[in-house]
Chains A and B, each alone.
Chain A
Amino acid sequence: MSSLSTQHVLALHDLNVSDINLILDTARSFKEINERPIKKLPTLRGRTIVNFFLEPSTRTRVSFEIAAKRLSADGINFSSSGSATSKGESLIDTAKTLDAMNCDLVIIRHKYAGSPYILTQNMRAPVINGGDGKHQHPTQALLDLYTMREHFGSIEGLKVGIVGDIAHSRVCGSLIEGLSMLGAQVTLIAPPTLLPVAPEVLGYPGGTPVTCTSDLESVLPELDVAYMLRIQLERIEKAPFPSLREYARLFGINTKRMAMMKPDAIIMHPGPVNRGVELSSEAVDTAKNLLLYQVNAGVAVRMALMYLLLGGDADGTVS
């Protein structure tokens, strides 16, 4: 019997190695249930889980929603297109309001870094960070770790290249920590204008160090995983590179580059893919099973996290 060492999951580093393994193991049993015709478990019946989304993100929200429903929790969507403050209510006041309604778990997605922490200071329920600004997106990282672990059996020693907009990526904030914590060798691959100023701090203290390059082809043949980040087209006006065409030419995966990869190497992407940019259409078609596997794993990992944060044990009971 074991449980998580943390009440909230705001950042990947809130978890230790055994937490991560517990979540991934629990997710595996939920994933099996997700393959059954009847996918619903009574585990969290009567519990209220709030999806507090201050930034539109259909994919992540739906994934959490399905996860809550499969566990029989009452899922509430509380969304707002703008910031709460644009309605005149501060995040603190919104948190206190949610707290007064006795919800059991809150998932927050917000475009400002650190907002999940504000929730934890103003409510009693556990908080899961569903993505905060450019800071962290721990559930995405967990589903990616799940996918890699299932595929390769273990994360330790894997060579993972993360390609693209590292500087503006909350996925990186979490995923690099997780990989470094579990002993993978991470290489960040991006034009210098999309690398963070201090990439070394993205690793986990005491974990494997992170390296950087702007030459994709020089490292591609060694990689076990090419993790392609989505280029945020809306950020292009800042022009960190001259054109999508040139980006694709230097940092995209196409048929020619796929042929350079190890036979058992995999391509991953947090989605949605910009076809022809991060991945050519041929590359998407080759990788699509795994990309969909990531989405599928996302539900199981989020179920596991909800279940464990609400007092569930690895043996399937909820206290």
Chain B
Amino acid sequence: MPDMVTLTIDGQTVSVPKGTLVVEAARQVENLIPVFCYHPKMAPVGMCRMCVVKVGTPKMDPATRQPVVDADGKSVIAMMPRLQTACTTPVSEGMVVVTQDSEVEHAQRGVLEALLTSHPLDCPVCDKGGECPLQNLTMGWGPGKTRFDYNDKVHFEKPVPLGDLIYLDRERCILCARCVRFQDEIAGDPVLGFYNRGRAWHIISQSDPEFDSKFSGNTTDICPVGALTSADFRFKARVWELQPIPTVCNHCSVGCNMTFDTRSNDIKRVMPRENDAVNEIWLCDRGRFGHHFNTSKQRLTTPLVRKAGKLQEATWEEALSIVAQQLDGIRSTTGGKAIGGLAGTSLANEDLYAFQRFFRETLGSANIDHRSGSALDLPLDDAGAQYGIRSGTDLSTLGKGTVVLVFGADPEEEAPVHLLRIRGINTRGGSVITLNGRPTKLDSIAKHALRYKYGSESAILAALLKPLLDSTPADGKRATLRGFNDLVAALKGFNLDEQASGISADKLNTVAELINSAENLVIFYGRDALTAGASVPAGLANLLVMTRKAGATNSGLISLLKGANARGALDLGVRPDRGPNYAALSNAGLDAKQMLSAAREGKLKALYVAGVDPVGDNPAAAESLKKLGLLVVQELFLTETAKLADVVLPVLSVAEREGTYTNAERRVQRFRQAIRPTINARPDWQILQALANQLVSEAVLSAAGGDKSRKQTRREEDKARVRSEWTYASPAEILMDIQANVAGYKGVSYASLQGPTGQWGRQANENYYFDGTSYQNTGGLGVQLPAAVETSSIQTLQPFSVSTPASVADRPWTLVGATFLYDDGALLTDTDLLNNRKAKAVVALNPVDADKLGVKNGERVTVSSGRGSLSLPVHRTKLAPEGVVVVPVGVNNVGLVSVVEGGATPVAIRREA
């Protein structure tokens, strides 16, 4: 329990933790003090002066240092001579605050009148109208009439663009600096500033390109007026006509809570929904603006069936029965093993569960995966679930005592809102360590920003583990750690090669100490770490075990997998080697890569692809797919893979249906249907259910041909395999099935996901002026699943070994494929606003290296590995360390996929003539 302080606000007694600001204390007694510049997520600045109140403190006797008491034994209160800003005044014991009396109201009226003198009052055409703190506070606290002359208002050119995404109307700006402070303090992109002074004081962008930040949209939420509006929502709708539907962002693994604000069955804007445990009140610009795919004209609108070599429109009955018959045919002739299935990480848990059931039960095939079979696929990550961040952890509460280790990850690009959360932990007194192969934005706040050389990741981890091992007492403690001796053996004789790893052993010892002494240890790892070999996630898990943080409160791994629901896919067994809940399988199926080679060799007859685009990811996959007897694609868009399909089944998007996702922190969250589908598409699970039921029905069996007795046995077999006919009426029922059959999801239901909704104890509407226009979370906070280690008493160290990559003499450079937030992924279809920000098809090369090669910006180089080569223009940048070339993943026409070998790849570089 923190130290509590008791004070009186307007006669009511309140107790609040020491350090609480008067403005926050007043919210607890439901006496709102009006604010403009104050924002609960940022340091107070006391600029707007709206929150002035009367404050008094007990009078102290200077001699005795005791409060002076009156005849009744009550403390004598000395009122401060001036009004005080409630947003900058911390509470103190015995304080007396008056928020409502004529003097206070007079002053507040003055501030509002002052603000309105420079305000254009163009509410009728202002996007903020209806959810505008200035409007609301004027109604509550403002003067009914102004004494200022209308023509004395300040004038500026009406909205000027601050970059592509945001417009600034300087006449509407009340100069509260919330936007500037958000960028400085929270986003860590100090790209906004002020210019000039007095009434001419105004906001400017000071970056090139303008407003260069992935979080710019948040400023439009917290701006207390309509000075900042988004290019996406400007003039699209009046806010009171919008219906906010709770949903979850499906662009990355953070799983930000948001709403689709709809009108006339159209998504007008995306707004954050408060969830302190996930995104607080923030969204990144991809999540906010990347909703246009839902309503894209390029969506598939009806089933397609290949006839006479061409995909032609068909009815669902026709399309489904073709698929069912053909699958049944293959199943009865070659068995399930000739059928493969890929279901992607944008699919809901309910779809994924249905998918693996369909394969394992209905088709009798273990060949399932959620990846596309390209060289850029990430390995299956189990550590993130076994040693995942402990359930109940709320990163927004962590600070002092917490160490965040970011290993081989670039949260800004891979999971942007995590960047904000890591920065928040740092602001609250935690420490950040970045251990990366290349620079990232987090380095600037890191206590230790260390740069390893690609290939030395396991050696770095060994160097961190070794001192922890050495300091573990020989007694009983070691016995409680399963695998201790194996780890000792693996590290026997290990000595860090400082030259090869790029970091000194001393430095790593310091880091190990810091990690070891931390109260909480949170480890983020991303693409670079995941592709650096199995020992990396294992080593990270071992760090947790060795520091006694595995399964401990507020500690654990957060794996930044690609895709919103990659964790769901892993949890629910959309993978060849394990069933739901990571259950071991006696016979593993083929993974995506193996399926493609099996197809090429003619062993795989049918491939069923849902939300994955093997050909888009790797054009070479087309050759394999062309060999198939049946290619079924279940999709939003006519992807490169869909173009080759025999049957294309259109699905509903996240906005048109409901379901759940499991995020990187293993929080299961629910999204709801926001708009009515206007196309002839179906949710993934429904399609799978229809097929599953057709495949056991009489019709299919008879159509399959063969003699009667064979038919009879087949039918018995199928009945045994299929528990029963699928009768899911909604995703909620599938989730009930999941919670009954998948141990990790026990107890998770649409009811429990609804969860507690109260955040910050706020009153109706007050969010407008306290945190901006983000929505209160009425759609549920979700449920965080426990990590496996939380429930086991013995801690297991993961198999770990140090590998040293052999250097390849004629390939002295290292090629790294990097994730960028703005890529050419299908989910950004029709979000043209972000086009200028998309990663370019270039090779990032350090200027020193570029000079060595004699290449200027824009000149082409050939990069070749043992597998192949690519040719791209050069972008000289320090973001590529010397000796490393960085090429974006997920960007069209880079050819990366035919060059990389797993993770960091030795390559040769040649300047093209």
- Do A and B associate with each other? no
B residues neighboring A (CB under 8 Å): none
A residues neighboring B (CB under 8 Å): none
